[in-house]
Amino acid sequence: MEEKEQKIVAEDSKKQKFLKSNWWQVIKFTLFSISAGVIQFGVFLLLNEVVGWSFWPSHLISVTLSVVWNFTFNRKFTFKASNNVPIAMLLTFAFYVAFVPASVFGGNALEAAGWDALLVEALMMVINFVTEFIYQKFVVFNRKIVPDKKVKPNEEK
């Protein structure tokens, strides 16, 4: 009976470490996303409000700068991935090949319908935050898809 109890305690400990690790990733991703959001919103504000550009070029440039910033820091600090950077960048690019046109056309349509451009930009940032975390965690930095160079195959658990 004692051995069975030890296994249960060990499994509970593993689950707690797993949950703590995942929550810590969410927190770090959120903090880096906030910093990327400041960059995106600042550049958007500058181009849209100060320079006077319309939604789509302002959004396209601001989201591109934000993505580069966010990818760099999340790869290194949130997911601690040393996997093949060109492949990880290509996977991230694939996400944005779908997201950017949808957000540009959708945002442009909302602005044309009378929505405030800054509100639309904020909405697109929230949608991007949620979908990008899921995509980066389970696709871009998933060691089964793009193996980590530092981890030997027989060392993975």
Q: Which amino acid is at 137?
A: K
CA atoms in the 13 A half-sphere facing the CB of 65: 16
pLDDT, tens only, 109-124: 999 999 999 899 899 9
Distance CA 56, CA 60 (A): 6
In order of 55, 114, 120, 130, 134, the CA distances from 109 in angstroms are 10, 9, 10, 22, 26
Determine phi and psi for 152, rounding to 5 degrees. -75, 145
Closest among 98, 76, 49, 81 to 150, alpha carbons compared: 81
What residues contact residue 108 under an 8 Å CB cut-off, 6+ apart? 54, 55, 56
Asked whether the beta carbons of 41 and 66 are under 8 A apart, the reply is: no
pLDDT the model gives residue 156? 46
pLDDT the model gives residue 125? 86
Name which residue leads in pLDDT, 155 or 36. 36
CA end-to-end span of the chain: 27
**Confidence (pTM):** 0.70
- Average confidence score pLDDT of the chain: 84
What residues contact residue 106 under an 8 Å CB cut-off, 6+ apart? 124
Check residue 153 and report its DSSP letter. G
**Cα 84 from chain centroid (whole Å):** 17
What residues contact residue 107 under an 8 Å CB cut-off, 6+ apart? 55, 56, 59, 117, 120, 121, 123, 124
Q: Residue 149: is its pLDDT beyond 60? A: no
Q: Residue 147: is its pLDDT beyond 60? A: no
pLDDT, tens only, 64-111: 999 999 999 999 898 888 778 888 899 999 999 999 899 889 999 999
